[in-house]
Every structure is written in C-alpha cells, then in structure tokens.
Structure 1
Amino acid sequence: MWMRNAQRMGVALLCLTGALLPQVSAADTAAEAAGPPGTGWTQVFADEFTAAAVDTAKWNHRTDVKANSAQRPQNVTQSGGLLTINLKQESYGGKSFTGGGVISKKKLRYGYYETRAKINDGAGWHTSFWLMAGDGSTTYPAEQRTEIDGFETDSINPTRTMHNVHGWEGSGVHGPLTYGSGTYDTGLDLRQWHTYGIDWSESGAKFYVDGTLKYTAPYTPGQWMHDYTNVWLTSIATGSLPDASKLPSSAQFDYVRYWQRDYYVDNDGPAAYGFTTSGTWQPSALDGWTKDSPVVYSCTAGAKATWRPTLRAAGSYEVFLRKTATPDGDPAAAVRLDNNGSVTTSTLNERTGSSGWTSLGTQTFASGTTAAVSLTASGTGCVHADAVKFVRR
C-alpha cells in the first residue's frame, strides 16, 4: 500500500546504497487510515481505479452542460490507480471550458461512502463527491429526491469546503429540506490528497475529512428522502470564470468505497430482493415509507408476506416492521420473526396508533439469509405489507 501511494504521489524510490526513502506526510497517512467509524461494516462496492480506462460496467459519464462548462467523457481518464478529470479551455457545447465526471450505475442507500481526492490548482472549478439519483445526463432528473454532498470545493478557495443535504421533489423542484455546514476553512490544502467520508443513515448524515467528523446534518427525512442514489465524482466550471493560465489542469480521485451495516427489505424497488408473498395481494393507494412506493394489502385470512434480508455480517441487530395504520386495517395480524429456526411471535394492530416502525426486539443473527420476518392476515380487515429493517446495534 505504501509503495502504491508513493507512486501515485510521483515520488521516485531510490535503490542506491545510502539513498533516503521519501517521507509520507501526516495528512497522507491520516487519509489512508480512514474508513467507517465503529464496527459491523462490510464493504460491498468499490472501484480502486486500477484499470487502464473507466469501467463503463460500473460508471456513466457526466455529459450535461451547466454553469461555465460542458462535461465530456473524453476528459475522464485512468492510469496509475487514479481517476483523473481533465479540466480544459476548449469550445464545446456552447461553452469555452470543459470538465467531466463519473456517476455509478449501481444505486445504493444507507451506509458509509468514502473517497480520496485532490482538487485542481487555479480558480473557477467546482469539484465534488456526492450522492443523488441520476445518470449524469442532467443534474435534474425526474427521480431526483435525496442529494447528499460529501464535499463541494470551489478551487478559488482551496482550503474551504462544504457538506450539504438537500431534499428534492424531482426534475429540479426543491423540497423544503436543506441542511448544510456552510463553506468553512478546513485548515488543509485541498489541492493535496485528503479522504472524505459520508455516514448516511435513515435519520441523518455525518461528514468526515481525514477520519475526523466535521458536520452532522440533523434532519428527520420526509418520505422523499429514503430513495436509492448514485455516487457522483465530478468537476465543472462554475462561479468565477476559470483561470486560463492554470489550464489544462485536473481533479483526481484515488478510489471510491461503500460499506453497509443496516439492511432494509421493501415490498418493491431495489430493496425488494428478499420480499415474497403467498395468497392474494393487491397494490394499495396508501403511501409506503418511501416516495412512489405504495404498500400492498390482503384481506384474505392466511395470506402471508415475508421479508428475508441478506445479512453480510453476523452480529446484534434490532428488527423493525413498518406498520401501516388505517381504519380498515387488520387488528390482529400475526407477526413472526424467524432467527434460523428460533421463532418469536407477536400481533400487529393496524387500526390503532400511527404508521411507523415497530420494533420486534434485538437479537444476534448469523450472516446470510437465515433471518426472516413474516406478516400473516387474520381475515378481519386488511393487512398491509411495506418494509422491514435490521439495524446493527
């Protein structure tokens, strides 16, 4: 790892007798020593950028025209274990400057995201590591709901950055929710390598620089804030016009990694991988816990819905079932938590209280697919199936 980092920094290792080894800075060491806080994390997505070109099975290119630049796939290159976004003065797409970026094809949700990056030298560029649904053809897609900015740095102020959470209602319509750190001085030269982390959970987002917590967004997300997002690594010209005397230049990313600790299974969408039903079920007009994700229901006694997560790590998890409260709900639906054959049962009354997560208790679970939650209709009223979650404790 040290040798790889030395090569990336352009340091020549001398093998002559008596030659001095190069020094590794404290900031560089701290950056490498980052990673998710706490225990129970499993890495499930990464790109170390060691291939000779961008892996288009993993990434889309940013191709929009925005602010002072057009974004070009040709500006994004890989070599020496680095993803480089080349920043140029050239006429393209009606603009005089071009930038670029990549957007993950894989959609992810709660977990810890991390990259190691350095921005360009010279004013006029906005480099960022962020999460939002989309493919890079526009920053205002119809599916735009959650935006989480791991860092946003304007190169005119190379020691300053900001972290944000934005709620969108799709196609560029901003929702009521916005939290941000404001632009602050990190005390670091961000033109050098630094590590940036996002710890995103259902109840908030924490932002790290070189393993140090810098900002916590204290939001209680609305329904539109639970959707899956893509990872964006981008640099575009915005704000003041770029300093042409510093071009061509580049922003670079060393890697991107994602770890998971909590597990959600929904009745539809990307998280429906472990959801099955038996008996007669129908789509409901009632909203689920995520935007555009209605629940399903059954009024037939014995109809059963089952959620089976794939736990990537053994450990202690608190299990929750999402309750849908409605006047014609099932007052005596049977709930069954199966922990590899050890079963805990309870009853769910959907006619009382309010909709929300209902705890089924905390247990120690093995990794794999040996845990499951099921909900069975009593035949009195209609039972509603939405989602379950296993939250690491």
Structure 2
Amino acid sequence: MNADSKSTSTPATGDRPFTQLRRQRKLRQLCSGGAFLLVALGSLVAGPTPSRSQDIPTAPSFVDDFTSFDRARWYIADGWANGKYQNCIWSKRQVKLSDGMLTLGFEKQKVKDRDFACGEVQSKQRFGYGTYEARLKTDSGSGINASFFTYIGPTDKQPWDEIDFEVLTKDTSKVQVNAYIAGKGNNEKVVDVAGGTDKAFNDYAFVWEKDRLRWYVNGELVNTITDPAKLPSHAQKIFFSLWGSDTMKEWLGPFSDPGRKLTLQVDRVAFTALGQPCQFPESLACSIK
C-alpha cells in the first residue's frame, strides 16, 4: 500500500532551521520538520498512567508493526526541503507501507528545484521519559543520512531538544548517536554495528530518564549520558528520515547519484513509558533496569 494516499500536504510543526544543522561535528544536520510515522491497528497501546519519576507529559505507550497506517498518529512530509543543504524534496510518494514494512525512499526525481525526492515521517504526538525502539535496515551510499530520532524545537514553541541515531551510509558498519539540549550538541559518539546496517535488520533503542540517557544497539549498551546539563527535558516527536546532501561532504561524504532507488526500511517502532510493562517479548524494556 502506498501511504501517500493517507497523508496531508501541509508542513508539520517540526521543521528545524538550517542554522541548527551546522552543529553536529561542525556540520550536524538533523533536519526534519515535516513529518513522521504511522501506527498499526494491531498496535498495543498502553494507557497514559503516570509513571515513576515522570514529570514530562507524554503520549501513551505504543507498538507499531506497520500492518496498517494510522494518519491520526503519523504525519508524512511532502513538498519542501529543510534547507539548501538538502539535495532532495520531501515527497509523500517516497513513503510506502507494504507487507508490514514502512519504507522511506530516496531516488532521482525532479521535484521543484531539486533533482531527487526523499522520504520522512513524524509522530503527531510528543513523548517523554521511557524506552524508544526501532528495528531498521538501511541502504548504502555516500552523501546519504538514514535516521531514527526524537526532536522538538522553536517551531513547536519549545527549546530545541533532540536524541539521535543516524546512519551516515557512506559507512554502514557504524551508527552515530547524539543528543541536543537547548540547541547545544557536541555529544555525538560513533559506534559499531556488527554485520552492518545494510545487511540485515538491527535494533536501535534509547532509554530516556530524568537523570540518565542510554543508547543500545541490538541490546548492547553503547553510550550513556548522566550529566544533567546534557539531558533533554522536553517531550519530543519521533522521526524517521532518509535524505542526501551535495554540500555536507565533511560529515556525510561526497554525494554521487546512486543510479537506483535507496531505501530505509522500518520493521517496527515502539515507545514504552517509564514504569510501564514491556509490550512485546523482544523489547529492551523487558530486560533493562
């Protein structure tokens, strides 16, 4: 099923100014504004019971295995780019749902003033402390970014807070994790992904608590932040995006036309509010403390 038939076409409220993109490794990027996610009819949705230490308002826990598309929960970016650095235009035609899989695309397609079209989705709801999980498979190619992250910012009348997993697909053996607090980053760390992000599906998760932020890859702890000055404190939206750049060579690598359609596949995404029971057997929330 092509999810674009169920999307809207107005820009979402998560767009980030281009100036923000300069901070990650001095060329940080994280874009997004536009759009995000989807939720299945068969999703497990926990009630919004307040959880321990929960002092950030949060939407309820959920699991989405993408057996259907719920536009009440998810928004698809369409018709714009986040800045001149981005060599593609967000297109609802690059967001598809088929056989229980959400697929974002990047391909050569003239849209407005860009030669490529790309896909992004965003949750309409905001989430607080808890466990965030996604099962992903990326493509490969220099000049491309495939990401799973949370973000809130000035266009939502909030400070810029963000928590990231970003695969710079010039090197699919690694993923970069990062956090932004009130617009300040420099918390990035590049970690290994055994077997590569493009050879099989991998599980990416972070656990956000009031006094700690932890990132996991395939169940293994890869990074921890406990410095209060480096911990987000505002509820955020969930994003997936796949995009490219001709200019951000230092960070993404030099871009060249891949000559084919690239994809980011999302098999599952879940949020489990802090203190709530885990929602599926493989969930990190079932085993961590």
Q: What band does the TM-score fall into relative to the shorter chain? A: 0.5 to 0.7
Q: Does 1:200 align with 2:215?
A: no
Q: Does 1:253 align with 2:269?
A: no
Decide whether aligned partners of structure 1 residues 143 and 260 sit closer, same or farther in structure 2, where only a CA change above 3 A counts: same
Pairing partner for 1:107 from 113, 116, 126? 126
Instruction: Tell me the CA shift for residue 218 of structure 1.
Output: 2.8
Aligned to 1:157: 171
TM-superposition CA deviations, 1:324-378 (whole Å, max 9, x none): xxxxxxxxxxxxxxxxxxxxxxxxxxxxxxxxxxxxxxxxxxxxxxxxxxxxxxx
Q: Does 1:58 align with 2:73?
A: yes
Matched-pair contact (CA < 8 Å) for 2:140–2:171: no
Q: Which amino acid is 2:105 matched to? A: N
CA distance in 1, matches of 2:259, 2:197: 16
Matched-pair contact (CA < 8 Å) for 1:132–1:229: yes
Unmatched runs of 5 consecutive residues or more in structure 2: 1-50, 53-59, 246-251, 278-288
CA distance in 2, matches of 1:95, 1:72: 11
Aligned residues: 210
Unmatched runs of 5 consecutive residues or more in structure 1: 1-39, 169-173, 263-311, 314-392
Q: Which amino acid is 2:147 matched to? A: S
Q: Which amino acid is 1:78 matched to? A: L
Q: Alignment partner of 2:93: what SS?
A: helix
Pairing partner for 1:45 from 62, 81, 106? 62
Of Structure 1 and Structure 2, which has the larger fraction of its residues in strand?
1
Matched-pair contact (CA < 8 Å) for 1:159–1:185: yes
CA distance in 1, matches of 2:92, 2:254: 21
Q: Alignment partner of 2:176: what SS?
A: strand
Instruction: Tell me the CA shift for residue 211 of structure 1.
Output: 0.5
CA distance in 2, matches of 1:93, 1:147: 29
Higher RCO structure, 1 or 2 (CA under 8 Å, sep 6+): 2
CA distance in 2, matches of 1:240, 1:120: 15
Pairing partner for 2:162 from 143, 147, 157? 147
Q: Which amino acid is 1:65 matched to? A: A
Aligned to 1:77: 96
CA distance in 2, matches of 1:77, 1:203: 37
Instruction: Tell me the CA shift for residue 246 of structure 1.
Output: 4.1
Decide whether aligned partners of structure 1 residues 141 and 89 sit closer, same or farther in structure 2, where only a CA change above 3 A counts: farther
CA distance in 2, matches of 1:58, 1:115: 16
CA distance in 1, matches of 2:212, 2:237: 18
Decide whether aligned partners of structure 1 residues 208 and 144 sit closer, same or farther in structure 2, where only a CA change above 3 A counts: same
Instruction: Tell me the CA shift for residue 240 of structure 1.
Output: 4.2
Aligned to 2:3: none
TM-score, L = length of structure 1: 0.49
CA distance in 1, matches of 2:204, 2:259: 25
Paired residues for 1:109-148 under 5 Å = 109-133=128-152, 142-148=157-163
TM-score, L = length of structure 2: 0.66
TM-superposition CA deviations, 1:252-301 (whole Å, max 9, x none): 00011011224xxxxxxxxxxxxxxxxxxxxxxxxxxxxxxxxxxxxxxx
Identity %: 22
Q: Alignment partner of 1:65: what SS?
A: coil
Matched-pair contact (CA < 8 Å) for 2:191–2:222: no
CA RMSD of the aligned region, Å? 2.6
Decide whether aligned partners of structure 1 residues 142 and 240 sit closer, same or farther in structure 2, where only a CA change above 3 A counts: farther
Aligned to 1:97: 116
